[in-house]
Amino acid sequence: MIAVIQLPFAVRVMWRLLRTARGTRIQRSEGAMPAERVTVLVPVLDEEDRLRPCLEGLIAQPAEVSEILVIDGGSTDATRDLVAEYARRDRRVRLLDAAPIPAGVNGKAHGLQVGLERTDPASQWVLTIDADVRLAATLIRSLLAHAARAGDTVISVATRQRVSGPGEGLLHPALLTTLVYRFGIPGHATRDPAAVQANGQCCLLRRPALAAIGGFRAGLGSVCEDVTIARAIAATGRAVGFYEADALVWTVMYAGWREAWANWTRSLPMLDGRTSLAGWLGLVEVVVVQALPLPLLFLALSRTQPPRPPNPAGSAIDLRLSFVRTVNVVLVAVRLGVLVGTARAYQQPPWSYWLSPLADLPVAIKLVRSGRQRRHRWRGRIIHRDRRGDR
């Protein structure tokens, strides 16, 4: 019976949610950190339409940021001209050329490695920022202050999201919820690679920790390079933290629901050379605890029969239906509770946000199918997931 299968996975998910419910957040800090130096790495490829607000936020960062390296993977638009404009405004901005990208590898990881090799040796920290990220002027000082308090080697931020409209408002929260079900609520650090969450959109890493794993090369054979790199660091015994930062940093990830469907589902299974059984169990949890309860509850309610004379066979069927209904009522209630909780991850979520559980089943199917693929296309290039281990 499906409800019997659901129960142990439901217990795992609910315990995870309870255990991670009381996390910490990155608090705004304006205090100077004069002993710290940060290099910012911004990998880009045809980002003319998205990069300007990101660079505006970066040049507003204080003196702790010693350099801002924009690494171009072979742009054909005006991205390079835009970077040159900001380099004239702020001497910390430099453009690096990472082209040509070797065939079959993750272009972002390749670009980050090129940037890492050109960084100022005096920088103790490396911050990766994507072109679609918007950041407050106090972000980097706040990250450094949090690192000093928590003692984390890696601090990754669950950036606040801005969705493009009702279509993405329906799909994006269903995708985001798969992370909450598999890894819990942000606000914690871990040394367990299987429990690592990471977001390369905004990720602060200690330079010695990167050196210990060979830099960003660890992600060359991964379609989720940020997670792979963070897992590799956690495997060395260092703490990797994943936190919300409220209004300090936000992003516009995709231009619409089609782009989110095509691109985020590529990396969201979070399966790579370091994937253990826990990674696949997480996808099973998404299917049976997040995606199936709503349709199963609908089916169980549609099969409800009017009162009838006592009959042993009929009573057994009624008991099974009642069990299915009870289990899935609870799971649907949990899903709605998570929906309320994740609303804070969005800037002004559209009305369709509240209907996003309707997208859970197609999202789960898509993630399972994506997790089984070894070849993925991203921005016109083929990336091969290396399941044998990190390159």
Per-residue pLDDT of 312-363, as tens digits, reads 555 666 677 888 899 999 999 999 999 999 999 999 999 999 999 999 999 9
- Give me the pLDDT at residue 301, please: 83
Residues 33 and 171 in one domain: yes
Residues 181 and 87 in one domain: yes
Residues 265 and 364 in one domain: no
Residues 221 and 295 in one domain: no
- Give me the pLDDT at residue 201, please: 96
DSSP 391: -
What CA–CA distance (Å, rounded) separates 184 from 17?
5
Residues 127 and 255 in one domain: yes
> What is the average pLDDT across 105-123?
95
Domain that includes residue 86, residue range: 23-275
**Tens digits of per-residue pLDDT, 178-215?**
999 999 999 999 999 999 999 999 999 999 999 999 99
Residues 89 and 8 in one domain: no
**Tens digits of per-residue pLDDT, 268-317?**
998 887 666 888 999 999 999 999 999 999 988 887 555 555 555 556 66
Residues 135 and 202 in one domain: yes
According to DSSP, the residues that pair with 40 across neighbouring strands are: 68, 127
In a domain, 10, yes or no: yes
Q: What is the DSSP string of 81-109?
A: HHHHHHHHH-TTEEEEE-PSPPTBS-HHH
Q: pLDDT band for 388, please (50, 70, 90 cuts).
A: very low
In a domain, 245, yes or no: yes
Is residue 105 within 8 Å of residue 30, measured between CB atoms?
Answer: no
Q: What is the number of structural domains in the chain?
A: 2
What CA–CA distance (Å, rounded) separates 264 from 327?
30
Residues 93 and 210 in one domain: yes
**Tens digits of per-residue pLDDT, 133-167?**
999 999 999 999 999 999 999 999 999 999 999 99
- Give me the pLDDT at residue 314, please: 52
- Record the pTM: 0.91
What CA–CA distance (Å, rounded) separates 96 from 79?
12
Residues 144 and 268 in one domain: yes
* CATH code (residue 154): 3.90.550.10
Q: Give the Å distances, CA to CA, from 127 to 2, 37, 112, 139.
A: 45, 11, 10, 11
In a domain, 241, yes or no: yes
Q: CB 239: neighbour CB atoms within 10 A?
A: 18
Strands 249-251 and 160-161 come out as: parallel
- Coil vs helix vs strand at 203: strand
In a domain, 379, yes or no: no
In a domain, 170, yes or no: yes
Is residue 203 within 8 Å of residue 194, measured between CB atoms?
Answer: no
Residues 78 and 118 in one domain: yes
Residues 266 and 158 in one domain: yes
